Amino acid sequence: MSTDSQTYLDVAVRAAKAAGEILLAHRGRVTVERKAGFRDLVTEADRLAEAAASRTILEAFPDHSLLGEETGEHQGQSTWRWLVDPLDGTTNYAHGLPHFAVSVALVGQDGPVVGVVHLPALGETYSAARGRGAWCNGRKLSVSAASCLEDCLLVTGFPHDLSPGRPTNLDHMEALVRRSRGVRLVGAAAIDLAYVAAGVFDAYWDLSNHAWDVAAGVLLVEEAGGRVSDMAGGRLDLFRPRLLASNGQVHDELLRVFAAGQID
């Protein structure tokens, strides 16, 4: 790994862990607020964690740009851009579940080059750098070897906006429940992707995410030997992510299921 890449990764890990410490310190004693809809939650811990992560990054790279879920865009002079989700899985966090994460990614013109997904309550830190593999707490990650859907455990999520006329994902979930060992809902896209990279899940799909939710996890899956595309099989746009991530071997089979359901 080049010196720059190692430095970027070290800062990403420090930023994620700084945010994670704040989340743990406030766990169980936060006031929950609503953002755009009643399912889209935020807490003061989200904001404090994002501030800590952003401060760590911008102190190291003051010319870089940074996009955070809660505070928006900091425009720097560099083409490098950090994407920070200080608390992916806010609903889990608010209800006392341990499956919540901090997601930090550095993105260049060709996509993510460094990514970290940190699960503070579980003591797990997933990290990747482009071309250098994916790791969790020093253990190299590899996607699963499942080669057909009937042997797969899948994971997905539901959009926050389930208003009439909006896609719900229920049709695709039903189709894939019938074709696989099962479908799970963890409630945090960053964790879903990290677990695909680790071979826990064989594939993840979702109709609606933000770039800060998935950028780090996308790199983890790719560096662990998996495949990522949009849900029609094309190149993923991080800022319009209808996302499919898999171990690679069942990717085309999943795309055929989505095509039958007329995914656009």
- CATH number for the domain including 48? 3.30.540.10
163 or 185: which carries more pLDDT confidence? Answer: 185
- The answer on pLDDT for 39 being more than 60 is no
Q: Compute the average pLDDT of residues 217-230.
A: 98
169 to 155, 205, 254: CA distances (angstroms): 12, 10, 14
Query: Could you tell me how far CA 10 lies from the centroid of its own chain?
Result: 19
Domain boundary among 84, 118, 140: 140
161 or 17: which carries more pLDDT confidence? Answer: 17
**Residue written as token pair 């996302």:** 243
42 or 231: which carries more pLDDT confidence? Answer: 231
pLDDT of 144 reads 98
Laid out side by side, the sheet with 182-185 consists of 182-185, 153-156, 203-206, 243-246, 227-230
Query: Do residues 157 and 101 both lie within one domain?
Result: no
Percent residues over pLDDT 90 in the chain: 77
Check the CA dihedral 10-114-106-264 and report its sign. Answer: negative
Domain of 91 in residue numbering reads as: 3-140
Q: Compute the average pLDDT of residues 136-165.
A: 89
Is pTM beyond 0.85? Reply is yes
Q: How many domains does the chain have?
A: 2
- The answer on pLDDT for 54 being more than 80 is yes
Which of the given ranges, 89-93, 163-167, 188-192, 256-260, has the highest pLDDT on average?
A: 188-192
Domain boundary among 140, 174, 208: 140
Provide the mean pLDDT of the chain: 91
The CATH code of the domain that includes 202 is 3.40.190.80
pLDDT of 225 reads 98
Domain boundary among 92, 111, 140: 140
